[in-house]
Chain A
Amino acid sequence: MASSPGKQPAQPELESIVRGNRRSDLVMAGIGMIVLLVAMALLAAVFIDLAVKGWPRLINPDFYINFPSRHPEQAGILSAAVGTTLVMLVTALVAIPLGVAAGVYLEEYAARSWITDVIEINVSNLAGVPSIIYGLLALGLFVHAFGLGETILTAGLVLALLILPVIIVATREAIRSIPLELREAAYGLGADKWQTVRLYVLPAARPGILTGAIVGLARAIGEAAPVITIGALTFIAFLPPPPVQAQPPFINFEWLSSPFTVMPIQLFNWVSRPQAEFHINAAATGVVLMVMTLGMNGLAIYIRYRLRRDAR
């Protein structure tokens, strides 16, 4: 049948099909490229728009060392920057140990059982819960039921819960990528499971876990919704007490219960004002925030890239 010459499709017909195929391929590749370029242009537009609008404040050193003010040209981000730093300290101290421990349990210890299934479904579901719902959790539970108030501790805790799934998932992936040979070598030496995990698996997984922690913290830095929901103040013209002091016991925990503001809230506050002068401050704050979050994400991507390259 194939060779009966009468039925064989004529050559020019096939060639026109090939030409049509090439055209549709070219169109599709073109559309894909355009979307990609538009996405890149938009990121550039976001950043350039902020940088241009915020430039007068960005180059003014007062912006970084002043408190917020009713006078836009005197307002600064000092209290917000300090607030962000302290909140992130709490978040990191809570989320990283908790997330890594949960990740290790799920990856190394959990036997196939309904409890494990519940935990796993729970983690993937938590990753999809809107951040503002975490805010409501903190408002109802931490602020009122536990009486922690609208403090740095509450904000740090809620952001820690928010990024917990990110760290758990990153930990699991990092542990999963550790070759079996390494474990076998450790067990072969007579190490028990905990020793193997603590002495061999976790150190080898450290870069992957670090990546997850950085991505999680970058997300926490940019989050405003849950922190607003717990009722963080927007006008803070003082600094919390410092966490370290010269006199014994050298560490001071009063800052945990201090009122605070963070940079995304400061931005939100300024962009919501009708006066255009405050928008300049908002734009400048946006630049600082973007530099921080994109820098951290970039660092995480770079670490992961290095990891993959070394693995090859």
Chain B
Amino acid sequence: MQTLNAMHSKKPDKIPMKNINETVYVTSGADAAAAASNTLRADVKSLSFWYGENRALSSVSMPVWDRKITALIGPSGCGKSTLLRSFNRMHDLYPGNRYDGEIRLYPEDRNLIEMDPGLVRLRVGMVFQKPNPFPKSIFENVAAGLRVRGIHRRAVLDERVEKSLKDAALWNEVKDRMHDSAYSLSGGQQQRLCIARALAPQPDLLLLDEPTSALDPIATAKIEDLLTGLRQSVTVIIVTHNMQQAARISDLTGYMHMGELIEYGDTGELFTNPREKRTSDYITGRFG
């Protein structure tokens, strides 16, 4: 409750960081055991972020578990996309942005905020809000990430492209038209193509930024299915506007509000028994 009061104080900046940013971490007994047996893929440690003068993230801390789907939810402008885009240093493309804090990348335990952004992006894949295939063939879109890693052998490309398209549940729809333009696909297919493109280089971490917000319900269901199918093999962080989606597909959920991670933990726990009033207000629809 002390934390809550601090949050509602009019000048939160004056309050020492420790107090305002006390994220509540929830875990059920069973999941705590599972988590203990699991390994860390990444670990966010008091990360803050500024767009010029505007602070978009305040001291967020969050472990990312290997081969789990982690969902980030929260109202518009809460910083969930900002946090997501920090994982592959997308912010570095635009001037005037600044990070403070760490995102440790495992197994080698390096702070990715201090790594070369190009190197980070070779290891962390991303799928965007709007499908953004390149103006090339379907095959070349999926192969793009392999080619940039110097893989040009046809046999390897064919195999990896096919596997990624199967993982993205798109193979059956496109296997006879691999050399058609990617723009000939429907919006939902384009987004699955983008997922295949991100999967092909076997990223350590896959970021999804509201991947279904531009799609119709049927296409959304297909993407949710494929994500569920990936949960045992890939580490995924997904930002979503849609709480049901988070509840359906994720293992862990973080609720963000005004640049802070309010509550983070096991998805079932968080949705059925939130510890924070703001979280329960949001998930019951009283706010946001």
Residue pair A14, B235 in contact (C-beta under 8 Å): no
Q: Which residues of chain A are near B204, meaning CB under 8 Å?
A: 2-3, 8
Residue B150 is within 8 A (CB to CB) of chain A in the complex: yes
Size class of the contact patch on chain B: 20 to 34
Q: Which of A1-23 contact B (CB under 8 A)?
A: 1-4, 7-9, 11, 13-15, 17-18, 21-22
Contact A2 B206 (CB under 8 A): yes
A21 to chain B: closest residue by CB: B118
Residues of B with C-beta under 8 A to A21: 118
Residue B167 at the A interface, CB < 8 A?
Answer: yes
- Contact across chains for A17 and B148 when beta carbons are under 8 A apart: yes
Contact across chains for B119 and A15 when beta carbons are under 8 A apart: yes
- Contact check: which of A7, A13, A17, A18 meets B202 at CB < 8 Å? A7
What 1/0 mask marks residues of chain B from 228 to 271 whose CB sits below 8 Å from any chain A CB?
A: 00000111000000000000000000000000000000000000
Confirm or deny: B7 has a beta carbon within 8 angstroms of a beta carbon on chain A: no
* Docked-complex contact B233 and A3, CB < 8 angstroms: yes
A-contact 0/1 string along B115-157, CB 8 Å cutoff? 0101100110000000000000000000000001110000000
Q: Is the beta-carbon distance between B123 and A14 smaller than 8 angstroms? A: yes
Choose among A1, A17, A18 the residue with the greatest number of B CB atoms under 10 Å from its CB.
A1
- Residues in A with CB closer than 8 Å to B202 are 1-2, 7-9
A14 touches B119 (CB 8 A): yes
When chains A and B are docked, how far (Å) is the Cα of A22 from the Cα of B116? 10
B102 at the binding interface (Cβ < 8 Å): no
Of B118, B201, B234, B235, which contacts A18 at CB under 8 A? B118
Question: A-B pairs with CB below 8 Å: how many?
Answer: 48
Per-residue contact bits, chain A 243-278, to B (CB 8 Å; 1 contact, 0 not)? 000000000000000000000000000000000000
Which residue from chain A places its CB closest to the CB of B234 in the assembled complex? A2
Point out the residues of chain A lying under 8 angstroms from B67, CB to CB.
3
Complex-state Cα separation, A4 to B232, whole angstroms = 11
When distances are taken between beta carbons in the complex, the residues of chain A under 8 Å from B235 are: 2-3
CB <8 Å contact, B149 and A1:
no
B203 at the interface (CB under 8 A from A): yes
B162 interfacial by beta-carbon distance below 8 Å: no
For residues 160 through 205 of chain B, which have their beta carbon under 8 Å from a beta carbon of chain A? 163, 167, 199, 201-205
Q: Are B122 and A17 in contact (CB under 8 A)?
A: yes
State the CA gap A4–B204 with chains docked (Å).
10
- Which B residues are CB-close (under 8 A) to A9? 149, 201-202
- Known A1-B202, A2-B235, A7-B202; further 17 A-B contacts with Cβ < 8 A: A1-B199, A2-B203, A2-B206, A3-B233, A3-B235, A8-B202, A8-B204, A9-B149, A9-B201, A11-B108, A13-B149, A14-B119, A14-B122, A14-B123, A17-B118, A17-B149, A22-B118
20 cross-chain CB contacts under 8 A: A1-B202, A1-B234, A2-B203, A2-B204, A2-B205, A2-B233, A3-B67, A3-B233, A4-B233, A7-B202, A8-B202, A13-B149, A13-B150, A17-B148, A17-B149, A17-B150, A18-B118, A18-B119, A18-B122, A22-B118
Chain B interface (Cβ < 8 Å from any Cβ of A): 41, 66-67, 108, 116, 118-119, 122-123, 148-150, 163, 167, 199, 201-206, 233-235
- Nearest 6 A/B pairs, CB to CB: A1-B233, A18-B118, A2-B234, A18-B119, A2-B202, A14-B122
